[in-house]
Every structure is written in C-alpha cells, then in structure tokens.
Chain A
Amino acid sequence: MTTFLRETSIVFNRQLRMNLRNPAWVIIGMLQPVLYLLLFGPLLEPVIGQLGVNQYTWFVPGMLVQLGIFGAFFAGFSLIGEWREGVIEAERVTPASRSALLMGRLGRDLLQLLVQALILVALGLVMGMDWNPGGILLGIVLTILLGGACAAASNAFALTVKSEDVMAPVINLVMMPVLLLSGILLPMSFGAAWLDTLADFMPIRHVVDAVRGAFFGEFDASTMGWGVGWTVVLFGLAVWWGTAVFRRENA
C-alpha cells in the first residue's frame, strides 16, 4: 500500500508540475467557476425565482456538478499526447502499479476540481447562497467523486481510441444529453413529463439532486441514497475501467 501511494504521488507530482508550468491551465481553471457564476447567474435568476427558493443555493450546486463533469471529460486529451510521445509505454515498463499510473493523473484532475469548487462555493456564499456547512461539504465530496469517475472514464476512453479526432465528437455527443437530462441549469420539472421521466434514467441527474439537496440542508433519504449510490457506483466502474485499460497490453 505504501508503495502504491508513493508511486501515485510520483505520477501526481509529475502531472501537477507540468500543468503548473502552463499559465493558461492555471488561469483558465480559476476563471471558469467565476465566469459560470457571474454570467449564468443573472440569466437564470428570474427563472429560478419562480421556485421561491434562494437562487444561488439552487444554482451553485448545478454549476459545481457541471464543472466536475465537463472539466473531467477533457482530462483524457493530455493522456493521448503523452501516449503519442511514448510516456505511457515508458511508465508501463517500470514495476509501478498500473492503478498508480491512473490514480496519480486522477489526483491532478481532482485537485483542480477541488480548487475550482472552493472558488465557486466561496463566491456563491458572497453572493448570498445559504450557509449549510455539512451540506456544502457533502456536495463537494460528491462532485469530486463524480468528477473522478468522469476523468477516469475519459482517460480510459482516450487510451482506447488514442485519437483526439474521435475523442472530441464523442465527448460532445455525451455532453448534450447529460446537460439536458441532469437538471443542471434548469429544473426538470419545468419540462414535459416524458422528459422528466426520461431524466430519471440519467444517473447524473440523481447526483445533481443530491448535491442540491445537501446545499439546501435537506437530507432526504431517498434523494441522498440515489445520489450517493450512483456516485459511488460510477466512480467504482470508471476506476476499474481505467485501471484495466492501463493494464491492457496495447495501451
């Protein structure tokens, strides 16, 4: 276990060092949550107002999950570059654990997500979001796990197809229904009943509901159960997939 953690931290440090050397990565990463909140917030304010709830407490969790999913979906792109230059192969001839090669990279993505989440929440609080420390903490943890699932899946997919030209359209294809059916921007109850029913089959919708519930301080057993359950399941599946791909022969 200590070897695994050591190897993971070597991979993590390497990734972080390379990213921090890239100012664009740092600045865009920081700006993203700010822009989301400042630009989308005013647009959605009147709509959410109809629900009769604090619009920032409603809106920030959605932004949080969106940040978690969409940022993480792109994590695989840098992996393709590394693969092309032989880095993945070089790492795979070392005795290092295959899951460490994945987890070190996930660590970097999750650290970025955590920093973004903290900025988003802090800004939300400044703008008048409700203060439910326990709920906010749970919401951030769920977001990080969901982001980890998406990043692991993105890495696994990237190393399977090894082509940005395949990655980009597939991510777009996946993002559209996720954005539509998760109720990230607008409540699903605003739409047609069939759409709402369809959305029940979208796991991320349940995660969004749970994070939102937590931010409101409403820990409804059913909502939390589905949300936490799906998050853990998605995380487990994606990490398993990612490790399998790193272990596989032609990766």
Chain B
Amino acid sequence: MIHARGLVQTFHTGRGKERKEVHAVDGVDLDVEEGEVVGFLGPNGAGKTTTLRMLTTLLRPTAGTATVAGYDVATQPVQVRRSIGYCSQVGSTFSGAYAGDEVVDHGMLYGMSRKDAVAKGQELFDRLQLDGLWRRMPKNMSGGQKRRLDIVMGLIHSPSLVFLDEPTTGLDPQARANLWEHIAGLRTEQGATVFLTTHYLDEADALADRIVIIDRGRIVASDTSDNLKAQVAGDLVDLEVSADEHVAVARDKLGSLAPDVAVEGRHVRGRVSRAGRAVPGLLRDLESAGVALDSIEVARPTLDDVFLTLTGRSLRDAEATAEATDPPGGVPPEAGATPSPTTTTTSTGAAR
C-alpha cells in the first residue's frame, strides 16, 4: 500500500547568515501492507506530519521516491489522491457551513454524483454516531463530533487507504476512547488500511498492529508493540516501603534482581526481567527481613520506555528539543497545552 524509499524533505529557515538547512525528514524508508493499521509515532517536530504530507501529495519530496496505493506520489498525484483519504490535524470543514453540505461537496470533488455523496455521507454519519447532525454547523459541535466529521470527510469516497494525522489531539479521554473505537472500525468495517500519526504512546499501543517510530527525521524502529517492548530490559517494579528505615533493605533485595535500582523517598524502583516470576520470591524475602510494604506496582514497559531505549531520550525531552525545529508553514502549532495522558514509569496503565 505504501512503499517509500529514502524520502527527504529539506527546508530553509532564517535569512542571510542565519539561513540554515533543516532536514525535517531525512531518509525515510517505509512499507505498509494492505490491511495493516500502522501507528507512526514520534515527538512533536520529529517529521511525522511532513512525511504524511509527502505521502498524501501535499508536499513534493526533496529526494527519494514513494508509491502509495500503487501510484507514484511525484508523477501520479491525481491517482494517489483518488485512492486515499486524509484527515489532517487542523480539520477539514468550514465552521459556518452545514456539516452535511461540506461532506457532499467533498464527495463531489472526488467525482461522486450528488446522490451518491448524500447516500454515502448519511451512511457514514450513522456509523460515526453523527446522526441528526447533518444540518449542524461545525462551530456548534463538540471536539469529538468535529473529529468524527473529519473522518467522514476522509472516508466519503471509500478510500482503500486512510491517513489520520493526530486524530485525537485535544480531545477529552471519553471522546478519545470513543474515537478509538471508530478508528479500529475503519479496518474491520471498511476494510481500509490505516496509517495514523500520533505522539501519544497509548494511542499507538491501542490501535496499531505495528508501530513505526520516527525521531529527528529518521525511522528508528518498526515492529509490533510487544516486540518493541521486549527490547526494554524488564518490567518496572516499584516498591513503597512503610518506613524510612526499610529503604536500604528493600534496595538490596531488589538490587539482587534488577541491575539498576533507584530510590526516591520511600519508593524503590528497578527493572526486573520476567517480573511475574521474580516478584513472589522478592515479597517473601522482604517479609522475612521484616520489611512491610505500603504498595507494590509492576508495570510492563511502555512505548515511552521503548523510545528512551532507542534514542536515549524520553519522549518529553525529545519534544522539548524538537520544538525549535518544527517546520514552518503548513504545519500549524499543535495544541501545546494538551497534557499527554501517558504518564511515565510508575504507571500501571501499560498493561492495556
């Protein structure tokens, strides 16, 4: 479905002496097979959107080649556009137009008759729980409804490949969970191949068969979520002892299982391989040493841990440094205030 080789996008920033070349995307190879759901993960400014814009013919690659749905993005853009649906992160409908009108006009620009576009649009409205909103203006819709409307816009011509750019950025948790169901349904109900970008780890984890990680314009990993996590040495075990004097004992006991142990207040943490097998013994040891625990948490590695292992930086640090190199124009600022719902190391949420 997607085969890219050596994709490069270079742009210039600054003027005169300040002028410098920025490699937003720096040699990306990518293969996506039919029927796959691929999560394209990376910090802000890593080159996700730029790669997506090249694959969707909105941006001409500086170098490299890509075929999408069997057509070359540089020489057959019209055929590519016919075969793909694209939901950009900024939206796709005018706030002061009726939702249904926007969808029908969009379908007609793909060459559909008005009748077909209306029928397909109404079917999609039903499927994405937008029934009754045909004559509602997007400005009067909730964030979740608007994103679902964007997905309707992207699906109106029944594309075999759908690109979703940061589909849930800025949504509340409930709306995200709801949208995830619909995104999962793209393959099961529509039989579409899905390529979605995100900087939320849990999102990639929840939706994608395979995760491609991009950092600083290069692909640093491409595998299933489980395989990626297996690269991280062990599960995180977090012990909270009930009294300060027990900290040293707990550190020694955990240290016999984990290569590195960190202490923070009464918390003692370390990575233990196959924690499920090791922890019962650890607990017995602690008990016999007279150490009482207030809590114990065992967390499977998260994709954040994977990112740290692969790049030596956590996703948050990467975002902080990447901000300065965000490509100008075409990529509107992402909702900077959106808190990442993925907390790091101590979260048990990784069991998802």
Contacts and interface: CB of A to CB of B under 8 A. Distances in A.
Given A17-B101, A93-B56, A249-B59, A86 B90 contact: yes
A249 B330 contact: yes
B135 to A, nearest CB: 12
B110 A85 contact: no
Contact of B59 (A3, A91, A162, A250): A250
Nearest to B138: A85
Interface in B42-57: 53, 56-57
B96 interface: yes
A17 B97 CA distance: 9
A249 B88 contact: no
Interface in A230-246: none
Interface string A85-108: 111011111111000000000000
Contacts of B91: 85-86
A162 B330 CA distance: 10
Given A17-B101, A95-B111, A249-B330, A87 B59 contact: no
Top-6 shortest CB links A-B: A90-B92, A86-B90, A86-B91, A94-B109, A250-B329, A96-B109
Interface in B145-166: 150, 153
Size category, B interface: 35 or more
B83 to A, nearest CB: 10
Contacts, number: 80
Interface in A1-50: 3, 7, 10-11, 13-14, 17-18, 21-22
Contacts of A87: 92-94
Interface of B: 53, 56-60, 78-79, 81-82, 84, 86, 88, 90-97, 101-102, 105-106, 108-111, 138, 150, 153, 329-330, 332
B94 A18 contact: yes
Interface residues of A, number: 27
A61 B93 CA distance: 39
A162 B110 CA distance: 26
A89 B106 contact: no
A13 B332 CA distance: 28
Given A14-B101, A95-B109, 9 more contacts: A11-B109, A13-B105, A85-B90, A86-B150, A90-B106, A91-B106, A249-B53, A249-B330, A250-B329
A95 B111 CA distance: 8
Contact of B97 (A18, A84, A92): A18
B66 to A, nearest CB: 15
A82 interface: yes
Nearest to A22: B96
Contacts of A7: 109
Contacts of B111: 3, 95
A9 to B, nearest CB: 9
